[in-house]
Structures are given as structure tokens and as C-alpha cells.
A = this chain, B = another copy of it.
Amino acid sequence: MVEDYPPFAVTVDIALLTIRAGELCALVVRRGEAPYRGRWALPGGFVRPDEDIEAAALRELREETGLSHGFHVEQLRTYGAPRRDPRMRTVTVAHLALAPDLTNPVAGTDAAEAEWRAVDTLLAARPGLAFDHGQILGDALERARAKLEYTPLGAAFCPEEFTVGELRRVYETVWGTAVDPRNFHRKVSKTPGFLVPTGETTTRDGGRPAQLFRRGSLEVLSPPLTRG
């Protein structure tokens, strides 16, 4: 009875989001084979026989970006409709990953063509992403928007050192709304643990020099920000 179970393929797929040129973008790869040949898909792949699921997600990220740290990764949801992959019964554990603008290092070791595309465009395009990846990307976007409201996760989109104004622009991009700079500044700077000051300042955004910060502990904390 132990060996008598229906076999499934288990994969991980990753909705890796970043902000480039003021747009929320996702990393997608062009499929080289059927099914969905030529269509964009989220990066992902099989979980190996002795590999933890989270480790598989991190490995895929490393393979696609060439980088092994600096991401925030969390499990999003598992998708397993019987015919979501026409070749075989496949269950995919989708992950949400957030990263700063990685500009160059996108073409990783994987042979497939990989690109950053605006999330809006990907979700609106017909035909859309391969498999159920449009659904996954939509769910990832919803999760990211929600988590920015009650966790310091916006900082995951920022580089090592960043200003409060840069952080605010992240929120404005993800939510698609304007955020009051004065109130935002107060909110984040008085939330303990959200921002770690470096002591340095920069004028790269123009105007008066702004303090530079590093991310505090991402997980856990909760600064009630507001979308409207």
C-alpha cells in the first residue's frame, strides 16, 4: 500500500518582482519547447529528489539571476489543477520573490532567454503567460501589495542603501497611488526596526541631502501604511 500512490511531478515557480524605471516588473523566460512554445513563463523547475522545496526555489533564483542573496522569498500558494500541464500531472509550489533592481545580471546560467517585463503588460497580454502563470503572477501582485501595508517589505525592493524618498517611490509604484512624502517619512522613520541609519547622506535624488538607510529586519514587524 505504501508504494501504491499516484505519482506527481512537483515543481517550483517563482514570481520575482523588482522595480525598474518606475515600473513594477517580473522576470519571465521565453519557452523554447511545447507546450506554450514561444510564450513567456515564470522561471521554475522540478524539485529534486532530495531537495527541500524552499531550497529548490532559491536554486532556481540563483540559476536565473546568477545571484544567491539579497532576495526576499516566501511561499505564495500551490497550484495543482489536474490539467494545468498537458504533459503530466504537475503540482507547482509558487513563490513570491522581491529584489532590488538587478539591471545587468539577469541572463544567468540558464540557456533560456530571460527578461524583465512590466507586470501590467504581462497580465493584460493576449495570449497571456504559459500554463496558469498569469494566475500565479496576479496572486503574487495581490500578495505583494497587501504585504506592503503591514510589513516593512517595501525595503526588499531597495538597494543596500537607500533614502526614504526612494522607499516611498517603491510604495507608489507597487500600489499605483501617490503617497504623501511628509507623512510617509514620519511613518517609516518612527517605526522601530524598519530603517537602520548608515550615518551617510546622498544628493543623488536632487534637492537637500537625504539620509541613507539600510533595511532592518524584514519579516515580523508591522508599520500600518496606507494605499490611498
**Interface of A toward B, CB cutoff 8 Å:** 2-3, 5-10, 46-53, 75, 77-78, 80-82, 87-89, 91, 93
Contact = CB atoms under 8 A, between A and B. Distances in A.
Nearest to A146: B150
Nearest to A49: B6
Contact of A78 (B9, B49, B51, B75): B75
B88 A91 contact: no
A82 B46 contact: no
A8 B82 CA distance: 15
Q: Which 10 pairs show the lowest CB-CB distances between chains A and B?
A: A7-B7, A53-B80, A6-B49, A8-B10, A78-B78, A5-B9, A78-B93, A2-B87, A50-B82, A8-B8
Which secondary structure dominates where chain A touches chain B?
A: loop
Contacts of A93: 78, 80, 91
Nearest to A53: B80
B6 A8 contact: no
Contacts of A3: 88
A209 B221 CA distance: 42
Contacts of A49: 6, 82, 89
Contact of A10 (B10, B53, B87): B10
A39 to B, nearest CB: 17
A87 B88 CA distance: 24
A214 to B, nearest CB: 28
A51 B87 CA distance: 16
A56 to B, nearest CB: 9
27 contacts: A2-B87, A2-B88, A3-B88, A5-B9, A6-B9, A6-B10, A6-B46, A6-B47, A7-B7, A8-B9, A8-B10, A8-B47, A10-B80, A10-B91, A47-B80, A47-B91, A49-B82, A49-B89, A50-B82, A51-B82, A52-B82, A53-B80, A53-B91, A75-B77, A75-B78, A78-B78, A78-B93
Contacts of A53: 78, 80-81, 91
